[in-house]
Amino acid sequence: MRIDTSPADVGMDDSKFGLLRQSIERDIEKGISDASIILIARYGKIVMHEAIGYSDKRKGRVAKTDDVLPVMSLTKQLVAGAVFRFIDRGQLALTTRVAEVIPEFGKRGKERVTVRQLLSHQAGLAMQHPIEDWRDGNEAYVAKICERPLEPAPEGVANYHAGAAHAVLGEIMRRLDTKKRSIHQILKEELFVPTGMEDTGLTLKGRADLLARLAPIAMRDDSPDALPPRDVEQIAEISTEVEFMAGGAFSTAYDQFRFAEMLRLGGKIGGVRVLSPAIIKAATSIQSGNKLHGLFMAAAERDHTDPFPANIGLSIYVRGEGIFVTNLGTLTSPPTFAGSGFGGQLFCVDPERELTIVHLVCGYPQLYNARKRSQRLVDLIVSSIEE
């Protein structure tokens, strides 16, 4: 547990933190989730870092703040962070066509797909692929993607790319890398080490220390949604050994805080320049225009809720204007940005309030239900700010 100061010292109402704990405890009692590991900071000072519940409910293992969790699609923001390093060095551009680096990709309608379109989920790739496609590693998965046709989203919709886009981004980095590193090594050396993320890995090969602290994936919600529960549970089984760019990273709440803070601070943390302010500004600006979020349209309809905007930057979500269902909270400021993973894995930064939130979950709700739950918790945290 890492605490720098009290909530009152940074203008936050401590009583709201009690309400936050109670809200999480009620969710656990109701079986919505098994555990929350939550970290809250303002002005870079950590005011809450707690674990509530069970990281492995079946074994009665109590959650700890240094538990290692599958962070699911928060992996996409980490992969994007490494891609940004290549862009900052001039090895790659947002306008680079994928086929310039992976020639075999440029067929069946995919000739014009760019790096920007991959990063912003607007490349016209399939929303999902069978989980078996990932088992043989990233190169084999990308080879399958290259053979598939473009699948454009309906007009006015951004179709979330659950696996394909970031797999291709990983292969782009591997092919451009002059040191001939594995993708895991690229992420470690380009992002994890300079950011100070000591307990984060893409695969856990050679990291017995992290495996010993790993919390398993467990579904706690079988409501209809985008991913079958068994597919979700298999992700950790696959990802401990195979590089899965879209959802296979493992991390701690503190490491996710380091990454989020680096972004909040304009790309520099602990005296180390990781990314340029320019690429972070592009990444945290809406790239999807007014397009709707295709991943949640069916769930919103079942919930009798209007479809809502995608508000996707470069693999990073942006709050934007208006009131709608969002895991970034309805009370946050428009420039607020976040990374988001299945089940409620979240980092969220409100730059106007200088507020950083990390919430990692054990025992997962389905996608849409997790989104609504995150909204409730984020709004409760934001409402604690008094000055």
Summarize pLDDT for 96-132 with one digit per residue, the tens: 999 999 999 999 999 999 999 999 999 999 887 777 7
Mean pLDDT, range 350-377, rounded to an integer: 95
Quote the CA–CA distance of 386 and 42 in Å, as a whole number: 12
- CATH architecture of the domain with residue range 7-80+186-382: 3-Layer(aba) Sandwich (3.40)
Cα-only R_g, the chain: 19
Look at residue 135 in the predicted model and tell me its pLDDT.
84
Look at residue 228 in the predicted model and tell me its pLDDT.
66
Mean pLDDT, range 282-299, rounded to an integer: 93
Mean pLDDT, range 171-191, rounded to an integer: 97
Under a CB-based contact definition with an 8 Å cutoff, are residues 195 and 258 in contact? yes
Strand, helix or coil for residue 233: helix
Look at residue 224 in the predicted model and tell me its pLDDT.
66
pLDDT at residue 37 above 80? Answer: yes
Quote the CA–CA distance of 212 and 317 in Å, as a whole number: 32
Please give the backbone phi and psi of residue 239, each rounded to the nearest 5 degrees, phi first.
-75, -20
Nearest to 316 by CA among 339, 300, 296, 336: 339
Sheet holding 345-350, edge to edge: 61-62, 45-56, 35-42, 355-362, 345-350, 337-341, 317-318
Look at residue 12 in the predicted model and tell me its pLDDT.
98
Per-residue pLDDT reduced to its tens digit, 321-342 = 999 999 999 999 999 999 999 9
pTM of the model: 0.96
Per-residue pLDDT reduced to its tens digit, 201-213 = 998 888 899 999 9
C-alpha dist (Å) from residue 46 to 1, 18, 93, 276, 314: 10, 16, 36, 25, 27
User: 20, exposed or middle or buried, with CB in 10 Å at 0-12, 13-18, 19+?
Assistant: buried
Indicate the DSSP class of residue 378. Answer: H
Look at residue 127 in the predicted model and tell me its pLDDT.
83
Per-residue pLDDT reduced to its tens digit, 43-99 = 999 999 999 999 999 999 999 999 999 999 999 999 999 999 999 999 999 999 999
Encoded amino acid at 44, one letter: G
Quote the CA–CA distance of 89 and 202 in Å, as a whole number: 23
Indicate the DSSP class of residue 44. Answer: T
